[in-house]
Structure 1
Amino acid sequence: MRILDKYILKKYFTTFIFTLLILIPITVAIDISEKYSKFLDHADLGVGEIISNYYIPFIINYGNTFMPLALFISTILFTSKLASNTEIVAIHSAGIPYKRFLKPYLLGAILIGLISLTANHFLLNKSNKTLEAFDEAYIRREKKTKTYVNEASLQLSENDIVYFKRFTFSRNHGTNFSYQHFDGLNLKYILTGRTIKWNTKDSTYTITNYAKRWIGEKNDSIESGRKLDTTFNFMPKDLLYVDYLAIEMASPELYAHIKESENRGVKNLNKYKVELYSRTTLPVSSIILTVIAVSLASRKRRGGIGINLAVGVSLMFLYVFFMKVTEVLGASATYNPLFMVWIPNILFGIIAVYLYFKAKK
């Protein structure tokens, strides 16, 4: 590795860490000013618990969220400083082409992107789970957990489907239950009940006022009764599809959950898919934003660092705006979540290529 590479990488990482260490304390201070009254409402809540169960996960979560912003701002700051000191002119005068000058920036962006990618897919779910548990226990006025579902259906296998008019999770109790077994497209067996209850002790279901019907080619047979204990290969939690649960799963678990839910006939899982896909798009953005930042800041301007910083921050917030809009659109059932999540990177990737060739000239 050349002296130039070491020099730029050192500037790259130190300025990035410095910028991140400025942004995070500001965010924590703002959050404390908003939440301290809620902390005081709980006499049993100590400072140690607040720090360990709330602010440490909070810092990890928001540090990862602010990573592209901190990376972008820090790259503009130190590259503009290099340009204002005519160091970039000296680099080019030494015969080093722009493509070679960009190499250490890309190495730094790839390294930070890989760290963020690993954290997003395998580590952040643990801090998110701790943060959500603390938030629900001490901060949130209303519980986010669903207490019931209406018109719930679940495909247990290729040939088996269950349906509930309503299921209440606090009592593990459902109404207007129906279980249907198919042979291809032909209905072979149906079990209905007025109510159904999950028994946690032995993992069985108790159905009241039930009716069994076997459908034959010529004659049907029917059996009915007041009470029936039976088993099914699902649990009440399988009926619960809450959006915030996605951030509490590592990516392999989230991917398996999406596939299993699709096999069971859950209609709209786009919010889960957006969460899964965005864990990759955010780290990739570090490379795109680094190229944009270097291309903007590598030229010496009359306005100095201020002009570069203003243009860069405007582009950065435009990127964040597009990212949030496309995530919301991707979560709806109308749009393809994979395409919508990648739109900001595609658009800003085009901008990065344009600015690169313009700066190269």
Structure 2
Amino acid sequence: MFDVFGSVKGLLKLDSVCIDNNVFRLHYKATVIVLIAFSLLVTSRQYIGDPIDCITDEIPPHVMDTYCWIYSTFTIPNRLNGRVGVDVIQPGVSNHEGEEIKYHKYYQWVCFVLFFQAILFYIPRYLWKTWEGGRIKMLVLDLNCPMVTEDCKADRKKLLVEYFATNLHMQNFYAIRFFICEVLNFVNVVGQIFFMDFFLDGEFSTYGSDVVRFTEMEPEERGDPMARVFPKVTKCTFHKFGPSGTVQNFDGLCVLPLNIVNEKIYVFLWFWFVVLSIITGLSLLYRIIVCFGSDVRMYLLRARSRLAPHEEIEAIARKCQIGDWFVLYQLGKNIDPLIYKELVSDLVEKLEGKEQV
């Protein structure tokens, strides 16, 4: 199992400087890792075996397997809930003339779609890293380490104070870019729910709730939604020209071991995406409150710099716009609390001295 998931362990590495927040990391770290790991899992024959095995007497097995994998298989939806030996020979594949046939082809694309979704989840992070340009890392320098010499600490604090005094009220666009990326995260996760619903022929939107409802039903009333979306046994028809040129049809019964994994993957993804979209939506609501509430920003800055006197925090909050507050708040995540307290005091003196001049 380590061979399958070992290649994604590098994504678990924590950055030395934090330039975003926990909700943002749920998108580009947790979700990307999950999607890439699932993509690798469905391509691992070591644990699943062949993705398809078809049974037929007239056609060589390897030819039938390849043909049915390429040209898709099908089931009879009306026969999915039959009982073996009573209603049907095999649920989902017992053929009856005139009944609806549902073709299943998406299982060929699951690994590619999962990897593509991982790329989409990483795009807002890529944009933010590009727009951010290493500003926070440049400003933090060595101040995220408590073991800093006094001379080095004094120089770094002086540079930071000068930076804020010079760029006061000029950093709003920096913050707005981050807020845009947060909106992109929300649009992406909601859009991917609709995308997977389209990919699974309209079955994904209610897939998780259907599975929960299925587990609560009586055994004789159950209609397994996982078997409907990801059937384990399907049917395939091989078309072959006979000696006289007439097309001969050969039916085959196909077993899809891969769908045992696929059905669990998409149950997890349904719950994960729903929870992630709710959390991201709440974070956007929080961001709107922060943008329009100066008092909220002051309390958040006070919570971030617990060691600094409240009157100093209030003095800074009155002078800062949203961009200045955002940069100062981000620095508070990365700078040692004791050094951050001293930085706040020096910044208050600088800003008040600048006003007096």
**Length-normalised TM-score, structure 2:** 0.31
Mark the structure with the bigger radius of gyration.
2
- Larger RCO: 1 or 2 (CA < 8 Å, sep 6+): 2
Q: Of Structure 1 and Structure 2, which has the larger fraction of its residues in strand?
A: 1
**Length-normalised TM-score, structure 1:** 0.31
